Amino acid sequence: MLAPRPSTILFDIGRVLVRLDVSAAMAGLAAGSTMDAREVWAAIESHPRWRDWQEGRLSAHEWHRQFGQRFGTGLDFEAFRVAWNRALLPEPILPDALLQQLARGFRLAVVSNTDPFHVAHLEANFPFMSHFPLRIYSCGVGACKPSPLIYKEALRACRTQAQEALFIDDLAENVAAAERLGMAGIIFESASQLERELTSRGLF
């Protein structure tokens, strides 16, 4: 039995739509600290307020203050913001022609674990975001993938049922979480792999 044709396609952002270089951001953030870039990133991920930052319970100014206290850096707010956004590389992963074609036939949305700095940078600097009228961010809904809450919020925002949605992410655990709710899923590996997968499903 063929799977139903989706009406909505949900995309992750990092390493699916946008290339990431966390080390570039960490190098800037480590300025003035006794830690190197790798140590800074490890410390950020283990920071007790990291999840609060990702899920919108901490303002950008408060995150900057917390960071300065934790790592002893002298970066002012603007320098901190600029360094943080260096993780997002400017060259998109997917060709715009692919997104244009999909946008003609499907409702497109992004579902991303991200923070207010990156949201503002993405929406101001990446023209392909115009193909995604629906944008579900962890910092906006108070939950990160793979929590069911963010997927349910995405389905609500898209006004679609799980069985009518296709979810694309580079992390298998995030795809598995979507599939447990009844969505179809694709684990993203590359632009060419995604095109082949969409073509095999009759979607591209």
Q: Quote the pLDDT of residue 33.
A: 76
Tokens of 183: 């969505």
Say if residues 153 and 143 touch (Cβ distance below 8 Å): yes
Confidence of residue 83 (pLDDT cuts 50, 70, 90): very high
Question: How many helices (DSSP H) and strands (DSSP E) are in the chain?
Answer: 11, 7
Distance CA 17, CA 82 (A): 20
DSSP three-state, residue 75: coil
User: What's the confidence (pLDDT) of residue 37?
Assistant: 86
Q: Where are the alpha helices (DSSP H) in the chain?
A: 22-29, 37-45, 50-54, 60-71, 77-85, 96-105, 116-125, 138-141, 148-158, 172-180, 191-200
Tokens 């997917």 -> residue: 94
d(CA 204, CA 193): 12
pLDDT single digits (tens) 140-182: 999 999 999 999 999 999 999 999 999 999 999 999 999 999 9
pLDDT at site 74: 81
* pLDDT, position 46: 92
Residue 81 one-letter amino acid: R
Which pLDDT value is given to residue 93? 99
pLDDT at 2: 62
pTM (2 decimals)? Answer: 0.95
Check: CB of residue 163 under 8 Å from CB of residue 181.
Answer: no
Query: For residues 144 and 51, what is the distance between their CA atoms, to the nearest angstrom?
Result: 8
Check whether 1 has a pLDDT greater than 80. no
Cα–Cα distance for residue pair 3/91, rounded to 1 Å? 34
Q: How many CA atoms lie within 13 A of 50 on its CB side?
A: 11
pLDDT per residue over 6-55, tens digit each? Answer: 999 999 999 999 999 999 999 999 887 778 888 999 999 999 999 999 99
Residue-wise pLDDT for 85-128, tens only, equals: 999 999 999 999 999 999 999 999 999 999 999 999 999 999 99
What radius of gyration do the chain's Cα atoms show? 18
Q: What angle in degrees, to the nearest 10, is found between the helix axes of 60-71 and 37-45?
A: 120
